[in-house]
Structure formats: C-alpha cells, structure tokens
Amino acid sequence: MEKKPGYELDNEDVKLKLVEKDLELEYISTDGDFAVYGSDLEESEKIHRKNISYWGDVYRRVKQNKGAVISFWVLVVLVFLCIFGPFMSEFSFRQMNSTIGDQWNWTVIKEGHWFGTDVFGRDVWVRLWEGGRVSFLIALVTVISEGIFGTVYGGLSGLVGGKLDVVMMRIVEIIMCIPSMLYIILFMMVLGPGIGTIMIAMAISTWPMLAIIVRGEVLRIKNYEYVMAAEVLGASKGRVLMKHLLPNTMGVIIVKLTLDIPGAIFTCAFLSFIGIGVPPPNASLGSLAFTGYTQLYSAPYLFFFPAILISLITLTFNLIGDGLRDALDPKLRH
C-alpha cells in the first residue's frame, strides 16, 4: 500500500500521525502521563464573591456618593445639636434679661451667651436649637403621616382599579387644587394657632402627590409575573399589596419623603416668617429669621444664624435625597 506524504511522530507512549488529506490520531498513554487541573467539583461550586442583598447594594452605592455621605454626617450633627443643644446652656429659651439685649461681644460670651442675645436678652444659642427642634418635629410628623396615608391610599387605588380608582383619584385632584396655604389659614381659624395645627394642615396638603406616585408604580408592577402568580395561588389583595407591591415601590417613596422633609421645614419657617406659624414665645427658625431681618443692620447675627441653619438643613436633605435616588433607581445606577 502506497504511503501518503505527511508527518509522523512516534514514541513508546504516544503516536500522532498527520496525513495530507486524512487526520488520524492514535493515542496510547500510561498512568501518570497527564495531570488534570480545575476539575474539583466542590471548589468549582464555591461562591467566592460575598452575597449582597438589595438594600446592601443600595447602602454600598450611597457610600460611594461623597456628597450624600458628608451631608448625612452634617445632618447628624445638626440633629444632635437640636436635641441636646438647649441643654448645653444654663439659660432657657424663654428667659429674658433686658440689660444685655441685642449684644454679641466677649462680655456676653463669657456669661454663657455663645451666640449673643436678642432684643429681649434671650439666649440666641438656646432659641436657635429650640427652633430647629420644633421645625424637625413638624417636618417629621408631616412626612410620617404623608408616608402612611399617601402610600396606603395610592396603593389601594392602583391595585383595585376600576370605578373606585376613578373616584379616589378625583378626590385627590380636588384636594390638590386648593393651595396648602388656604388649608393652614383655615385650620388656624378653626383650631387656633399652634404646632399641632401646622402639623395637621401640612399633612393634609402633602399626601396627595405621594398617593399619585405610588398609584403609578402599583399600576406598573401589578401585571408582573410574580404578582400574577401570587394571585393565582390564592393570595388576597391585601397580602399582594403589602407583600409584593408596596415593598417594590419603597425606592420612590423613600426618595419622595426625603425630599419633602426640607420642604416641610422651609414651609414652617415661611409661615413663622409671615407671622402665622409657631406662636411666641415658642421659637422656630422662621420667627428667628424674621426677628433678625427686622434688625439686620443693628444686629445682623440674629438673621445669619437661623438663615444658615435653614440653608444647611435644606442642602443636606436635598443631597441625601439625590444620593438615595441614584442608588435606588436602576436606570441611574450606572
């Protein structure tokens, strides 16, 4: 038989023959010729990367936002001072001393009035943090009530749908067409001025927008496969709403409430600035700013301190809200 041209490699263990038109491989091996790497089944099934939950991933992304992190720690300091700042001084926010009114010099600082005194001789340091405490309290109660009522209302409207959804949304539109200032003035006339009146009026005027946002998210999510599977398995509408729909809308809810806090604080300050907010002698950032504004040329520090505090609170919450939005929104993660 004629031998075709090609290449031939022979040894005692392996024979490899390559021919021009035909490829013929003859393999003869003995034990120990080859070592197998990377076929350890247990090693290949190990997960070397740490498992991160959804909220763990959100926390990691927020930490990467330097503006949000710095704002968070600034906010922590401000909240700490609003809670414990009045206790750091021996004076109360109502205590008056007309002999040292409108002063901020080394003499009054040595006496314990670190930020000076107002026209009635009251300590500005104590009244500043007392006003911040009142503003934070009003904003916190307003946002909590908005979050609870607006979330449940919008979730039910989006889940049930039909005629009930139409009626519920028409109620929301009626509430939103009336300016919030009218609610506040109306409640002031009926209930009288006070912190509780401001809380009620602001809570009523803020929840409809959140309800609309939650309704839109629920309408988008309720046709997903896992929601339909839960309904097929017999889950009630209440369970579907609480276990599947609302938890998946928490991203937009958290961002909305975070951005509403500085808005509530600014509204409270504005009401006090125009004279229909927190009644005297209680302190609020708006009333302190108004008092300082009336004495801007004679005692400018009375205006600068509350104005700076209002600006810091608003800026920190806005930066934190932006950081949460970037971390919670899948479209903005990259």
Confidence check: pLDDT of 10 > 70: no
77 pLDDT more than 90: yes
Residue 80: the pLDDT is: 93
Task: Provide the 10 A C-beta neighbour count for residue 61.
Answer: 17
State which of 138-147, 266-275, 276-285 shows the largest mean pLDDT: 138-147
Residue whose C-alpha is closest to residue 183's, from 207, 200, 168: 200
SS (H, E, C) the chain: CCCCCEEEEECCCCEEEEECCCEEEECCCCCCCCCCCCCCHHHHCCCCCCCCCHHHHHHHHHHHCHHHHHHHHHHHHHHHHHHHHHHHCCCCCCCCCHHHCCCCCHHHHHCCCCCCECCCCCEHHHHHHHHHHHHHHHHHHHHHHHHHHHHHHHHHHHHHCHHHHHHHHHHHHHHHCCCHHHHHHHHHHHHCCCHHHHHHHHHHHHHHHHHHHHHHHHHHHCCCHHHHHHHHCCCCHHHHHHHHHHHHHHHHHHHHHHHHHHHHHHHHHHHHHCCCCCCCCCCCHHHHHHHHHHCCCCCCHHHHHHHHHHHHHHHHHHHHHHHHHHHHCHHHCC
Residue 149 neighbours by CB distance under 10 Å: 17
Q: 243-269 pLDDT, tens per residue?
A: 778 777 887 888 888 888 888 888 887
Read off the tokens for 248: 């998946």
pLDDT for position 78: 92
Please compute the mean of the pLDDT values over residues 127-133 and round it to a whole number: 89
Tell me the C-alpha distance between 162 and 100, whole Å. Answer: 67
Q: Does 189 have pLDDT greater than 70? A: yes
> Contact 302/219 with Cβ under 8 angstroms?
no
| pLDDT band, residue 320 (cuts 50/70/90) | confident
Higher per-residue pLDDT: 293 or 16: 293
Q: What is the pLDDT of residue 74?
A: 93
**Cβ pair 327, 56 in contact under 8 A:** no
User: Rounded CA gap, 307 and 47, in Å?
Assistant: 53
Tell me the pairing of strands 23-26 and 6-10. Answer: unpaired
Q: Over the Cα atoms of the chain, what is R_g?
A: 34
Q: Which of 136-150, 206-220, 271-285 bottoms out in mean pLDDT, i.e. has the lowest?
A: 271-285
70-90 mean pLDDT: 90
- pLDDT for position 57: 73
- Find tokens 């519920």 and name the residue: 168
pLDDT above 70 coverage of the chain, percent:
82
CB distance 285 to 82 below 8 Å: no
Q: Tell me the CATH number for domain 57-332.
A: 1.10.3720.10
Length of the chain: 334
Q: Give the pLDDT band (50/70/90) at residue 277.
A: confident
Tell me the average pLDDT across 61-65.
83
Contact in structure between 93 and 128 (CB atoms under 8 Å): no
Where are the domains positioned within the chain? 6-40, 57-332
With b for 16 or more beta-carbon neighbours within 10 A and e for fewer, the 20-48 pattern comes to: eeeeeeeeeeeeeeeeeeeeeeeeeeeee
Taking the C-alpha atoms of residue 331 and residue 128, their distance in angstroms, rounded to an integer, is 41
What is the average pLDDT score of the chain? 78
Q: What is the pLDDT of residue 269?
A: 79
- What share of the chain in percent tops pLDDT 90? 5
Among 16-20, 26-30, 156-160, 200-204, which is the least confidently predicted range? 16-20
Token pair for 310: 């209002």
pLDDT-derived band at 41, boundaries 50, 70, 90: low
Over 50: is that where the pLDDT of 95 sits? yes
**pLDDT exceeds cutoff 80 at 47:** no
Confidence band for 276, pLDDT divided at 50, 70 and 90:
confident
